[in-house]
Amino acid sequence: MRRKAVSSILSQVPRVQTASSRPLAPILAITPASRRYSSHPPNAKLNQQVQFNTSTYLSHTTSTSLANPELPSSIRTSGNTSKLNLYQAINSALSTALSTDERAILFGEDVAFGGVFRCSSNLLDRFGPDRVFNTPLNELGIIGFGIGYASHSHANTAIAEIQFGDYVFPAFDQIVNEAAKYRYRGASEFNCGGLTIRMPVMGVGHGALYHSQSPEAFFAHVPGLKVVVPRGPVQAKGLLLQSIRERNPVIFMEPKILYRAAVEEVPVDDFTLPLEKAEVLAKGSDITVISYGTPLYTVELAAKAAKEMLGVSVEVIDLRTVYPWDKETVFESVKKTGRCIIVHEAPRGGGLGGEIAACIQESCFLNLEAPVGRVTGWDVHMGLIFEQFNVPDVVRVFDTIKKTMDY
């Protein structure tokens, strides 16, 4: 699915600090369709390319976009949307956050010139170097600094960027021992709730070991944090704005392959979408498929194939907030369908799939007709040339649906 040439993005950005304002032509070049390391097999029936421009999980027209019942009525009646890809939607959210909250600052490696994924384009010019700035190349410093800024006043908002989710680990101590525990140990007299940590995550076709990881499960084990993964531009804008305005530290993971690939009509004005709420993307009666981020589009193709080839009606749920996640929506669906699989790119062992499966087993035991299935990355690292075998693709999702239905 991630072999769509045009949808491929940069990702192999050298981790050097640049202060130039040249357009990133050589770095951000769209790769030619003939690239060999992630090409589309011509005879594939299941592993088709994702057609983002026709995906039903994205709003392609103003009217479908504004029909979203979660949007405030003022937005729904405004009629104002514009066609944005994921990075532009993030940019719109950041711009809205900075203009509506004068105590909000945005910082990280290379954010000043617009960011290596262009998410912070033009923000320096609009909000000035005091509020949008580069930091030294030090992740623990970025997060520690953000905690300090946010802990200074309840009204302070710190939006920190980690250049890739793969590089968040030097800041693990600051996130787990400090950000997550600040309110608890300070008994609410002190907190760093104004902190939001953004990071690009998941596979990108050629990211290998250190530009492909999905570290959400590491953080979904830490009380005090919220972890959010949007699936597209509208979600990204609404969920990011809510994450920034929440007075809890939020880790906001942006599926980097969607930065340019996923395009939607996004409401122009200021709106938020709720955290800790899942969304049912497709109604179905035979099996529930739970996922978040990039693999949702794989699930969409697999569900289509399951309908056509097996006559199976699949209910698809986007968790959106993966911690704390929306158990009510999930359990309600599984109790109805009696079958369930979970799909994520991160490795299986200790992944979120295990936690979700355990909770479903506890709460839906009498409704389950089959074991809860998990389609995930293998328990390996993302070897460059092997990515197509490591990400959960349409074949594996389809096959797990089939096995679960046949159980």
Partner 1 sequence: MSFAGPLRRSLIPRTSRTIASRYPCPKRRCFATATSATSEAPREPEGTKEVPMTVGDGGAGTIRPVRQRHGSDRLVFPGAVNSKFTNRLVFRQQDPSKAIDTYRVMDTEGQIIDETHGIDFDNMKEQTLKMYSSMVTVSIMDQIMYDSQRQGRISFYIVNAGEEGIAVGSAAALGEHDTIYAQYREAGVLMYRGYTLDEFMAQCFSNCKDHGKGRNMPIHYSSKKLNFHPISSTLATQLPHASGAGYALKMERTPACAVTYFGEGAASEGDFHAALNIAATRGCPTLFVCRNNGYAISTPTLEQYKGDGIASRGVGYGIDTIRVDGNDTWAVYKVTKEARELAISQQKPVLIEAMSYRVSHHSTSDDSFAYRARVEVEDWKRRDNPITRLRKFMELRNWWDQEKDTQLRQQLRKDVLKAFNNAEREKKPAISKLWEDTYDKPTKDQQSQMQEMKDILERYGEEYDLEGYEGGKNGVVPKR
Chain residues binding partner 1 by CB under 8 A are: 19-21, 98-99, 102-103, 105, 112, 124-131, 133-136, 138, 140-153, 155-156, 158, 170, 173-174, 177-178, 181-191, 193, 223-224, 226, 246-248, 276, 324, 327-328
Q: What are phi and psi of 266, to 5 degrees?
A: -110, 130
Asked if 269 and 308 count as a contact pair (C-beta separation under 8 A), the reply is no
Q: Which residue lies nearer to partner 1 by CB, 172 or 386?
A: 172
Per the DSSP assignment, residues forming a β-bridge with 290 are 317, 342
**Cβ neighbourhood burial of 141 (10 Å; 0-12, 13-18, 19+):** middle
The least distance separating partner 1 from the CB of residue 131, rounded to whole angstroms, comes to 7
**Cβ neighbourhood burial of 139 (10 Å; 0-12, 13-18, 19+):** buried
The least distance separating partner 1 from the CB of residue 251, rounded to whole angstroms, comes to 14
Residue whose tokens read 């959210």: 93
How many CB atoms lie under 10 A from the CB of residue 101? 16
Hey, CA dihedral for 299, 253, 238, 175, is it positive or negative? positive
The least distance separating partner 1 from the CB of residue 407, rounded to whole angstroms, comes to 29
386: left (phi over 0), alpha (psi -120 to 50) or beta: alpha
Asked if 155 and 193 count as a contact pair (C-beta separation under 8 A), the reply is no
Q: Which residue lies nearer to partner 1 by CB, 60 or 327?
A: 327
Q: Which residue lies nearer to partner 1 by CB, 27 or 140?
A: 140
The least distance separating partner 1 from the CB of residue 134, rounded to whole angstroms, comes to 7
The least distance separating partner 1 from the CB of residue 268, rounded to whole angstroms, comes to 13
Spatial separation of the C-alpha atoms in residues 41 and 38, rounded to whole Å: 9
Q: Which residue lies nearer to partner 1 by CB, 38 or 151?
A: 151
Q: Which residue lies nearer to partner 1 by CB, 252 or 259?
A: 252
Per the DSSP assignment, residues forming a β-bridge with 85 are 263
Spatial separation of the C-alpha atoms in residues 274 and 272, rounded to whole Å: 7
Active-site choice (139, 246, 264, 300): 139
The least distance separating partner 1 from the CB of residue 24, rounded to whole angstroms, comes to 15
Q: What are phi and psi of 178, to 5 degrees?
A: -110, -65
Tokens standing for residue 332: 């309600």
DSSP 31: P
Active-site choice (109, 161, 178, 211): 211
Q: Which residue lies nearer to partner 1 by CB, 120 or 151?
A: 151
Q: Is 279 a catalytic residue?
A: no
Helices (H) and strands (E) in the chain, counts: 16, 14
Spatial separation of the C-alpha atoms in residues 367 and 331, rounded to whole Å: 10
Tokens standing for residue 225: 């944090």
Q: Is 211 a catalytic residue?
A: yes
Buried b (16+ CB within 10 A) or exposed e, 319-352: bbbbbebbeebbbbbbbebbbbbbbbbbbbeebb
Q: Which residue lies nearer to partner 1 by CB, 214 or 248?
A: 248
Q: Which residue lies nearer to partner 1 by CB, 355 or 399?
A: 355
The least distance separating partner 1 from the CB of residue 250, rounded to whole angstroms, comes to 11
The least distance separating partner 1 from the CB of residue 260, rounded to whole angstroms, comes to 25
Enumerate the active-site residues.
139, 211
